[in-house]
């Protein structure tokens, strides 16, 4: 399964390609190198570009916070929240929501015919004013994540359970599942990868049993991990859209 949300990678790669005049089709192998097939309403991206769209934004909504989503019908909002991510067409409006599934014959988990695919579904939504994105302040986003890490560390220590596993921000190699395009300012890229690493580590910790803890301490540990994961996702969303704003030429690097 991909570690960095597919919507994050596609938003960055497509926005970078459009800035340099590359065709959208040329970036799929870079943006989704860890997936075996892409389907659904993917042609909507080219349609958006043909009618004037110059960049794609990303939203990482969850049941308790959909602030990153534009105004949209309930069905659009529900689809995005269920997926936990969506691509946004800021100029003309619209969402693309991914669904990732595994394919292949049943009962043969190691078969070479198995793989992962992403299917995109288009949904209506309002445009996103560019000033909403260009107003993102990197210092404020960085502080919010640092405060979240500190609060989670204190809460986890109080629970008596294990801390969040350390995971170093990944390298941006072309063969990496985290590979990202050139042109992202270094401070934005560094914070984006740090947020992604923290989110991934929290998800891993939440999936691991907290052996030896009381029920109350287990609940406290899980609450701290979820809060930090949410803070990391907010940071990842902001950093992605800030990077897109630079790639699109909406604000200086």
211 vs 64: CA distance, rounded Å: 28
pLDDT given for residue 169 in this prediction: 58
pLDDT given for residue 107 in this prediction: 61
- In the numeric block, the tokens 């540990």 are attached to 221
pLDDT band at residue 164 under the 50/70/90 scheme: low
SS (H, E, C) 133-162: HHCCCHHHHHHHHHHHHHHHHHHHHHHCCC
pLDDT given for residue 110 in this prediction: 59
Q: Identify the CA nearest to 7 among candidates 125, 96, 103.
A: 96
Comparison of pLDDT for 158 and 86, the residue scoring more:
86
- Segment 108-131, tens digit of pLDDT: 555 667 788 999 999 999 999 999
Comparison of pLDDT for 220 and 85, the residue scoring more:
85
191 vs 196: CA distance, rounded Å: 9
pLDDT given for residue 114 in this prediction: 78
pTM to 2 decimals?
A: 0.90
103 vs 108: CA distance, rounded Å: 11
In this structure, are residues 11 and 244 in contact, taking their beta carbons and an 8 Å threshold? yes
What average pLDDT does the segment 28-40 reach?
90
pLDDT given for residue 161 in this prediction: 64
Helices assigned H by DSSP within the chain: 6-20, 28-31, 43-50, 74-83, 130-134, 138-159, 186-206, 215-247
pLDDT band at residue 157 under the 50/70/90 scheme: confident
198 vs 190: CA distance, rounded Å: 12
Share of the chain above pLDDT 70, in %: 88
pLDDT given for residue 178 in this prediction: 61
Comparison of pLDDT for 177 and 251, the residue scoring more:
251
Q: Compute φ and ψ for 225, nearest 5 degrees.
A: -65, -40
What average pLDDT does the segment 46-74 reach?
96
Share of the chain above pLDDT 90, in %: 68
In this structure, are residues 88 and 50 in contact, taking their beta carbons and an 8 Å threshold? no
- Segment 177-198, tens digit of pLDDT: 567 999 999 999 999 999 999 9
């Amino acid at each position: 399964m991909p570690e960095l949300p597919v919507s994050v990678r596609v938003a960055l790669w497509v926005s970078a390609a459009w800035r340099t005049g590359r065709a959208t089709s040329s970036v799929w192998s870079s943006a989704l190198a860890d997936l075996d097939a892409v389907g659904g309403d993917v042609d909507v991206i080219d349609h958006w570009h043909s009618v004037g769209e110059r960049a794609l934004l990303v939203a990482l909504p969850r049941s308790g916070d959909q602030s990153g989503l534009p105004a949209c019908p309930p069905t659009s909002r529900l689809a995005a929240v269920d997926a936990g991510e969506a691509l946004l067409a800021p100029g003309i409006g619209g969402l693309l929501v991914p669904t990732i599934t595994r394919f292949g014959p049943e009962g043969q988990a190691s078969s070479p015919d198995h793989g992962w695919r992403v299917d995109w579904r288009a949904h209506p939504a309002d445009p996103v004013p560019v000033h909403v994105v260009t107003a993102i302040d990197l210092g404020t986003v960085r502080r919010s994540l640092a405060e979240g890490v500190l609060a989670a560390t204190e809460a986890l220590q109080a629970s008596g359970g294990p801390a969040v596993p350390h995971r170093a921000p990944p390298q941006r190699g072309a063969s990496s599942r985290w590979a990202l395009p050139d042109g992202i300012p270094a401070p934005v890229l560094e914070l984006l990868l740090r947020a992604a690493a923290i989110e991934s580590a929290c998800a891993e910790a939440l999936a691991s049993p907290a052996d030896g803890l009381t029920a109350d301490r287990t609940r406290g540990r899980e609450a701290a991990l979820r809060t930090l994961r949410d803070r990391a996702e907010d940071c990842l969303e902001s950093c992605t859209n800030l990077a897109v704003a630079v790639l699109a030429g909406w604000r200086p690097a």
